[in-house]
Structure 1
């Protein structure tokens, strides 16, 4: 099971938060690579899931419309790319409601899947699952079952489709998958990790995986995007390394494997037999 997903945000919506009052002063690039990617997916008959910001839905509704009209699934990525582990439950509830209303107003149908920016649902923010369920989210894709800078849930267990049990709420979870690299569990098929690792290694891990969940951004393919000079050297490396060759690697990825979206994957899973992750005691 190989699941293809994208996070739909602008190039300045990334791990280092840029002040909102500056966003519209930056040159828009959201629609530079998107048409090219959509044409490619059409050519190969692939339907993906696009996790969209509510802000994008309000600011560039045409972006969501073209994705939806091509037959792809639209899901939620919060309203303005704020990290869940930096929100209170009350703030997150308002943010989610705003995002869902904005997205659903554009596409005219209920959104049922969610991914937190930077996979920022962790052991301290498991209350988010209760709020997601209250707002009609059936499938979450926010768990990063190892350590990372902006989140991570290393105690979650095996990276596989499972059901989360928290305070009487059951929600389906499709976590990011990992592979053991030098004795450490690491992600390899999305964002900066995809840009970092050589393609032969990514292909090797995928060929030996029963389950894979990807996450790409249009900025992962945009080697001409503006740079933020104030970033640290490490942050610049994480944000910009491998941009020049990532689209070519992406083409090989689509050619070498079969892909489906979250909705299709969910219908194939026997959820009654899926592992239950009880977070009540964590």
Structure 2
């Protein structure tokens, strides 16, 4: 059986982050390398012959619609990352619905194509959000989410959540969670963000190959800032600053090596979801 993996990018500015006590709202007038970083990612994918799924923040789409259009024209899936990087579990169900709809409406206006996927900023789903989260996605016509970190983290995470793509509720919405590895008895990420920048390439390749051998799909994920050594810096404490910035210098080369290794397995999440829902006899909600 062929196992699919996913290449995903969270398209947001260098200052879009959720650290306790850190106010990033005053950074939105600073200069940015976002477009040139996205251009590098587009070129890398073209060289390797792969298509990604791009979870794009509504604020980015509003300020830089040309970035969204470039990704769409290059064949990448356009999906929602919410409007302003607000944590999902800090919103009421109706606030989340408005935030989601604002982002998807804007992305659809730019591309002329229905948005069917969502990723929560900073993996901000908790167990208490699940009863209404998938209902709202389904009612707004989305087919899948890729939002859950299936372990405990200080900001997020749902321990014991299955690491296999599945429909967590009766709604016809597929969840594609992160795949984690066991490290000294703890489940931790390895295939994206600070985890990908921290762990050596050989270990990530080993863990992905091992997961695939056991029938598990894995998604890589990165932000454009993670290949940018010239980005402005957030005022973070020593620990958060290390995790946020370590490994950036070699990240693009590492990503290229991972894509080359798993190139035949990558599929856009929207195409995988349609295939999976067909296999399960699930009909996506019509809009």
TM-score (norm 2): 0.89
- 1:144 & 1:107 partners in 2: Cα distance? 29
Match of 2:285 in 1: none
- 1:15 & 1:156 partners in 2: Cα distance? 23
- 2:272 & 2:32 partners in 1: Cα distance? 33
Q: CA deviation at 1:270?
A: 6.0
Q: CA deviation at 1:88?
A: 1.2
Q: Are 1:223 and 2:229 an aligned pair?
A: yes
Q: CA deviation at 1:264?
A: 2.7
- 1:204 & 1:77 partners in 2: Cα distance? 29
> Greater share of helix residues, 1 or 2?
2
Match of 1:266 in 2: 273
- 1:195–1:242: 8 Å Cα contact kept in structure 2? yes
- 2:173 & 2:79 partners in 1: Cα distance? 15
Q: Are 1:179 and 2:191 an aligned pair?
A: no
**Candidates 220, 233, 238, aligned match of 1:233:** 238
Relative to structure 1, the CA distance from residue 19 to residue 37 in structure 2 (aligned partners, 3 Å threshold; closer, same or farther) is closer
Deviation per residue, 1:52-90 (Å, 9 max, x gap)? 011111110000000000111000000001010111112
Q: CA deviation at 1:271?
A: 5.9
SS at match of 1:185: strand
- 1:177–1:213: 8 Å Cα contact kept in structure 2? yes
Q: Are 1:8 and 2:15 an aligned pair?
A: no
- 1:131 & 1:44 partners in 2: Cα distance? 36
- Runs of 4+ off more than 4 Å: 270-274
Match of 2:190 in 1: 188
- The equivalences for 1:245-260 within 5 A come to 245-258=250-263, 259-260=266-267
Deviation per residue, 1:210-254 (Å, 9 max, x gap)? 21012110111112211123x111110111111111111111111
> Greater share of strand residues, 1 or 2?
1
Q: CA deviation at 1:134?
A: 1.1
- 1:134 & 1:93 partners in 2: Cα distance? 9
Q: What are structure 1's unaligned runs of at least 5 residues?
A: 275-282
SS at match of 2:9: strand
Q: Are 1:120 and 2:124 an aligned pair?
A: yes
- Cα RMSD of the aligned pairs, angstroms, is 1.6
- 2:227 & 2:241 partners in 1: Cα distance? 16
- Tell which deviates more after alignment, 198-207 or 8-17: 8-17
Q: CA deviation at 1:170?
A: 3.1
- 1:51–1:114: 8 Å Cα contact kept in structure 2? yes
**Candidates 70, 82, 92, aligned match of 2:86:** 82
SS at match of 1:163: coil
- 1:163–1:271: 8 Å Cα contact kept in structure 2? no
Q: CA deviation at 1:273?
A: 5.0
- 1:2–1:260: 8 Å Cα contact kept in structure 2? yes
- Aligned pair count? 269
- 1:218 & 1:18 partners in 2: Cα distance? 21
- 2:53–2:269: 8 Å Cα contact kept in structure 1? yes
Q: What are structure 2's unaligned runs of at least 5 residues?
A: 282-287
- 2:24 & 2:197 partners in 1: Cα distance? 26
Match of 1:44 in 2: 48
- Tell which deviates more after alignment, 68-77 or 201-210: 201-210
- 1:162–1:271: 8 Å Cα contact kept in structure 2? no
